[in-house]
Structure formats: C-alpha cells, structure tokens
Amino acid sequence: MADKKKPKKSAVKKTKKKSAVKSKIKTKAKTTEKAISGYAAGSVDSVISVEDVNRQAKAIAEDIPIERLEKLADGEAFISIENLTAGYGKMEILHNLNLRVGRKQSLCLIGPNGAGKSTILHAIFGFNTIFSGKIFIGEGANRRDITNLSPSEKLSQSGIAYILQDKSVFPGMTVEENLWMGGFLKDKPAEAKKVAEEVFDKYPRLAARRKHLAKVLSGGERRLLEISRALVMNPEVLLVDEPSIGLEPRFIDMVFEILHDLQHKEGKTIIMVEQNAKKSLEFADLGYVLVSGEVAIAGTGDELLANPKVGQLFLGG
C-alpha cells in the first residue's frame, strides 16, 4: 500500500481555491512519491513500468478551469464534487478534486493503478474519510449536499448505487435470492421482489438462471447479476468500478451494451472506472485522466481518444 504524503500546498493555490471563478484544478507535479505497486495486474497493453507511467502521466497534466468541467457536464451538473480532499484513515489520496457530471451523462475515470479512481467512487458512495470539500447531487432546488451521508442513505435516499468490482454475489444463493438482496434497504420486501421481476423481464438471460445458484454462473452472467442487483433500488446514478475486469471479450462487449442501455434507454447517470481505456472512452460521454489523486486531463470521450498523450500512455499506441 503506497504511503502517500500530504502534498504541500502553495500559497498561490490556496488563494485560487477561495475564488470559485478562478478556481483551477491543481495539476502541478508533486515531489517524490513512492511507486505504486500492482500496475502490472492491469490490462493496459504496455511494458512501461509503474514509475514511468506515473512520471509521464504527471508530465501531461493540464490546467483545467472549473468552467471547462461545467461545460463538459452540459451546464448544470447532476453530480458535483467540489474541492474534495479525501482518503482512508489519515491518508490523503484525493487532493482538492473537482468533478462535474450532467444528468444522464456517463463519465469514465482512467489513469494508472493507485491514482485514486476507485477512491473517487468510494468518496461519492460514502466509504471514505473526507477531510474537506463537498459532494452534491441534484439540480436546481433539488440540489442536495450528500457529503456526509452513509452508504445506505446514499442508496435508499439519494438514488446512488455502487456496483462492486468483483466477487460480490452470494455464491450459495440463487440468482433470484441475490437479486432480492439488492432490495434489502427497501421498506417493503415485496417491493424488492416486484422490481426483481422487472429486472428478469429485461434480462431473459438472467431469468433463465433464476433458480440456479450464483456460483454456477459464467463470468458474464455474474457481472450481469451484479449490475442487476444494483438496479433493484431504482438508482439514478450508477457507480461502476472496472466492469470489464476478468471477463472474456464477448462478455466485455455485453457489459458495455448493458451500461449503454441503462444510460440511453433508462436515463441513468454513470460514473465508471475502467482499465480498458479505449472501450470505456468509446462508451462514455466524458473522460477524466486521474494521476496521483488529481485530474490531469478532462475532455469528452472522443477528445481523450484523439489525444496523443492519452493514446501513448493509456491506449497502447
């Protein structure tokens, strides 16, 4: 586990932070930092070392005005993270981070392992220590500060669902029991069963397996179950961590199709973390490159795909 030091903030940055208009995302490279282990486990087709990726990624960092993030979010954001500094215990992982996603948009977070991508999802869902900054959901009069809500409040009151990275289904339960579990926060258990039926109607592939134990499912079916289970609470926002991890290519396509439908047919807002940068940027409206807990580059998915710096580091080209 990387032992990250709290970065020294310059006086200039502090001044900037106070002005909403002039506020910028910090992108300055920080001083010596320990190498982050585990990058090799990712699926990026590259032979450069973790240290190299981090060094090069920091070198491509751009200054990103808040107005740019707001514009990308199509004006008024549905989810906003404002100057968030967060981490685990006393360890600071995200530094003064800003994020904006419009309603029914999809945002993909890419970047080297250990950059803090999953930590952003954790912070939104309420798994983190938040040192400063705020998280909001909703538009206009419905905009709510959700910074300090617990995960179960996020799920039951704020319409945010977090889809776990892997191995989160209960192997000894049937598919339908797993789905019902997705509704454990509902006031009436019968309600969960009703929504589960709607999910089965939508995914016949899952319906065909409803009486089977989850442990006999294929990798793709299990991922479908993980996503479906989150849908039982009728969330507006889906936080999806590495949906393609460990799947065969045909299932990867299936997962992206499902997420595409959830966004475009059901109007879900999606924030996703993906190692498969190419597929995820093709899928998502927006992409942020995260490096050492800061947003280094932000753009539309297409802009990032066409960005040679992103290409060289994350698209294997």
260, 283 contact by CB (below 8 A): yes
Q: Minimum distance between the CB of residue 121 and Mg ion, rounded to whole angstroms? A: 8
The dihedral formed by the CA atoms of 153, 91, 101 and 191, expressed in degrees to the nearest 10 = -20
Q: Which does 292 bind (CB under 5 to 8 A by kind): Mg ion, ligand ADP, none?
A: none
- Residues paired with residue 135 on neighbouring β-strands, in sequence order: 81
Q: Which does 284 bind (CB under 5 to 8 A by kind): Mg ion, ligand ADP, none?
A: none
Q: CB–CB of 162/273 below 8 Å?
A: no
Strands 286-291 and 79-88: unpaired
Q: Does 2 bind ligand ADP (CB under 6 A)?
A: yes
Q: Return all residues near 199 (Cβ < 8 A) that are at least 6 apart.
A: 179, 206, 228, 231, 232
Q: What are 224's two structure tokens?
A: 């479908």
Does position 119 interact with Mg ion (CB under 5 A)? The reply is no
The contact mask relative to ligand ADP for 262-281 (x = CB under 6 A, - = no) is -----------x--------
Closest CB 183 distance from ligand ADP, rounded Å: 27
DSSP type of residue 253: H
Applying CB under 6 A, among 44, 93, 124, 291 the residue interacting with ligand ADP is 93
User: Among 80, 85, 118, 228, which residue sits at the site for Mg ion (rule: CB under 5 A)?
Assistant: 118
**Considering the rule CB under 5 A, would residue 228 count as an interface residue with Mg ion?**
no
At which residue do the structure tokens 């995820």 appear? Answer: 280
Residue of the chain from 88, 131, 136, 170 that contacts ligand ADP (CB under 6 A): 88
**CB-neighbour burial class of residue 12 (10 A; exposed 0-12, middle 13-18, buried 19+):** exposed
Residues 119-138 that bind ligand ADP (CB under 6 A): 119
Q: Is 295 in the site for ligand ADP (CB under 6 A)?
A: no
What whole-number distance in Å separates Cα of residue 100 and Cα of residue 74?
Answer: 9
CB of 22 to ligand ADP, least distance (A): 28
Nearer to ligand ADP, 27 or 174 (CB): 27
How many degrees, rounded to 5, is the angle at CA 219 between CA 216 and CA 222?
Answer: 70
113 phi, psi to nearest 5 deg: -60, 140
Answer for which of 96, 105, 118, 292 binds ligand ADP (CB under 6 A) is 118
Q: What's the min distance (Å) between Cβ of 257 and ligand ADP?
A: 24
Amino acid present at 110? I
Q: Which is nearer to ligand ADP, 51 or 191 (CB)?
A: 51
Binding site residues, ligand ADP, CB under 6 A: 1-2, 4, 36, 88, 91, 93, 111, 113-119, 273
